[in-house]
């Protein structure tokens, strides 16, 4: 086994940690720790362009807990990589957050571009689903603040990052509980306009498979599976028809927050934003299906976090 590495992905809604080694025989990741905390770092950033200090402190507290786990597993400082994405890209006062992470972990967080985010998500997703058909795979990563589309087979050939995510669209449009038809219509118009532009950059009709990653997609899949407690062994690799996916997404979008909260498989930190995420996922799935011949979508539990860890392990001598 290789020495352990620690990958941290800090987005708009959550901060996640993966401590892993590489199995030298298979080349696969071996998880030592995989953690998630919902910190809503990007609360209000779309409106104000700045981090809320309380949200920053929530995130730093989570980083302190992650530090204890990193130290427990003996990960060297040079083998830690902290990646910050959409919310940190947008926040004018991000130095407050960056300095706090440096003080806690001894490393400077990387505020990566949407393109790099897409490439890391692609690597993490396609490396763990063995039965995807040959040809270009379209990986969709729906986050709290941004959504990435990346197309390729062994490696990405086309990619785009769009400023739409579950938190961003909830704060912009879906303000009523449950959202009104007018609010849903406004959010749909924004999503479709962004997808129109994305389709110019990414040839959606070339995709031979559609793979969704991150919390929105895995939550939709878990609800579709009818499970009460979240089980990655059920959701990873699962296939949903485009029509079935659309039905679940419409249900989640139009439920009240109280109704969603009664679905114990939905993490409490996603209850208020899963409707917007589901709308994004269903619009993308419909667009991809309409552009080609795909009739189903796959779910991967492995995403940018795994891509960060694999990239780290490639650097370790």
Structure tokens at 114: 């949407």
Query: How sure is the predictor about 122, in pLDDT bands with cuts at 50, 70 and 90?
Result: confident
Is residue 59 located within the same domain as residue 85?
yes
Position 241 pLDDT exceeds 90: yes
pLDDT attached to residue 159: 92
Position 127 pLDDT exceeds 80: no
pLDDT attached to residue 317: 59
Task: DSSP letter for 265, please.
Answer: T
Is residue 281 located within the same domain as residue 148?
yes
Angle between helices 114-126 and 304-315 (to 10 degrees): 90
Is residue 175 located within the same domain as residue 269?
yes
Phi and psi angles of residue 293, each rounded to the nearest 5 degrees, phi first: -120, 10
Is residue 160 located within the same domain as residue 98?
no
Is residue 79 located within the same domain as residue 151?
no
Is residue 37 located within the same domain as residue 146?
no
pLDDT attached to residue 236: 93
pLDDT above 70 covers a percentage of the chain that reads: 99
Q: Is 311 part of a structural domain of the chain?
A: no
Number of domains into which the chain is organized: 2
**First-to-final CA distance of the chain:** 13
CATH number of domain containing 54: 3.30.420.40
Is residue 64 located within the same domain as residue 149?
no
Give pLDDT tens digits for 74-91. 999 999 999 998 778 878
Spatial distance between the Cα atoms of 80 and 232, rounded to a whole number of angstroms:
25
Is residue 283 located within the same domain as residue 165?
yes
Place of tokens 């007018």: 182
Q: Is 312 part of a structural domain of the chain?
A: no
Give pLDDT tens digits for 191-227. 999 999 999 999 999 999 999 998 999 999 999 999 9
Is residue 184 located within the same domain as residue 286?
yes
* End residue of a domain, out of 79, 114, 149: 114
Phi and psi angles of residue 301, each rounded to the nearest 5 degrees, phi first: -80, -5
How many residues does this entry show for the chain?
Answer: 317
Spatial distance between the Cα atoms of 176 and 259, rounded to a whole number of angstroms:
14
- Going through 117-199 in order, the beta strands assigned E by DSSP cover 137-142, 147-152, 156-162
Helix (H, G, I), strand (E, B) or coil at 186: helix
Q: Is 294 part of a structural domain of the chain?
A: yes
CATH number of domain containing 287: 3.30.420.150
Query: How sure is the predictor about 1, in pLDDT bands with cuts at 50, 70 and 90?
Result: low
Is residue 138 located within the same domain as residue 182?
yes
* End residue of a domain, out of 80, 114, 148: 114
* End residue of a domain, out of 88, 114, 140: 114
Is residue 182 located within the same domain as residue 244?
yes
Residue range(s) defining the domain that contains residue 190: 129-300
Is residue 85 located within the same domain as residue 204?
no
């Amino acid at each position: 086994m290789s020495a352990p590495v620690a990958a941290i992905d800090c987005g708009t809604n959550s901060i996640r940690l993966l401590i892993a080694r590489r199995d030298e025989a298979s080349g696969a990741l071996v998880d030592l720790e995989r953690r998630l905390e919902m910190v809503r770092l990007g609360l209000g950033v779309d409106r104000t362009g700045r981090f809320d200090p309380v949200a920053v402190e929530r995130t730093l507290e989570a980083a302190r807990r992650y530090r204890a786990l990193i130290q427990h597993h003996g990960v060297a400082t040079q083998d830690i990589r902290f990646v910050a994405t959409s919310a940190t890209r947008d926040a004018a006062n991000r130095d407050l957050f960056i300095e706090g992470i440096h003080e806690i972990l001894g490393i400077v967080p990387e505020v990566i571009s949407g393109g790099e985010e897409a490439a890391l998500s692609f690597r993490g997703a396609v490396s763990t689903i063995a039965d995807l058909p040959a040809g270009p795979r379209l990986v969709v990563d729906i986050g709290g603040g941004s959504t990435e589309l990346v197309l390729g087979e062994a490696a990405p050939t086309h990619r785009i990052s769009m400023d739409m995510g579950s938190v961003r669209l909830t704060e912009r449009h879906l303000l009523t509980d449950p959202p009104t038809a007018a609010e849903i219509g406004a959010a749909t118009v924004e999503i479709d306009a962004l997808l129109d532009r994305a389709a110019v950059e990414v040839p959606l009709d070339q995709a031979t498979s559609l793979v969704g990653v991150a919390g929105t997609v895995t939550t939709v899949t878990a609800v579709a599976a009818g499970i009460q407690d979240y089980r990655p062994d059920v959701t990873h690799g699962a296939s949903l028809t485009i029509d079935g996916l659309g039905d679940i997404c419409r249900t989640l979008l139009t439920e009240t927050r109280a109704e969603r909260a009664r679905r114990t498989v939905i993490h409490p930190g996603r209850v208020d934003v899963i409707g917007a995420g589901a709308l994004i996922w269903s619009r993308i799935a419909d667009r991809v299906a309409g552009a080609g011949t795909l009739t189903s979508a796959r779910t991967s539990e492995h995403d940018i976090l795994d891509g960060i860890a694999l990239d780290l392990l490639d650097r370790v001598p």
